[in-house]
A and B are shown apart, each in its own frame.
Chain A
Amino acid sequence: MEIRFLYYEECPSHEEALERLRKVLDEEGIRADIEVVRVETTEQAKRLRFPGSPTILVNGRDIDPPSNAQYALTCRAYQLEDGRISPLPSVEMIRGALRVVNKNNLKRN
Chain B
Amino acid sequence: MKLEYIRLINFRQFHKEQLADFSTADDLNVTVFHGLNGAGKTSLFIAINWCLYEEGGADIGMLVNKKAWAETAIGETVPMVVTIGFIHRGARYIAERAVMLKKAENVPLNLKAEFTLSRTKKTGDTKPEPNPIGVMNAILPSNVRPYFFFDGEKMDDLTKAGSTDVQEAVRNIMRLPALERAESHLQQIADEFRREVKKKGSHELETLITHEQDLREQKEKALKRREELKEEIRIGRAQIEDIDAKLRGSEAAKELQKRRDSIDRYIQDNEIREKQIVQIIQKLTNRSYTIFLAESCKKAFEILDQKRERGEIPSGIREQFIKDLLERKICVCGKPFIEHDEAFEHLRTLLKRSSSKDIENEVQHLTGNIRLLSLNTETQISELNQRSKELAQLKEHTERLYAESDDIKRQLKGISEDKIAELEKMRGRFTQKYETNIAEFGKTESNISSLDNQLIDIRKQRDIAEKKEKEIALLSQKESLAQKAADAVNLIKEEFFEETRKEIEATTKDVFSNLAWKQDHFQDVRLDQDFRLEVIDRWGMTTRKELSAGERQILSLSFITAMSKLSGEEAPLVMDTPFGRLSGNHLTAVAQNLPSLTPQLILFVTDREWDEASKTNLEPRTGQQYNLCFNEKTGCTEISEVFYE
Tell me if chain B binds chain A: no
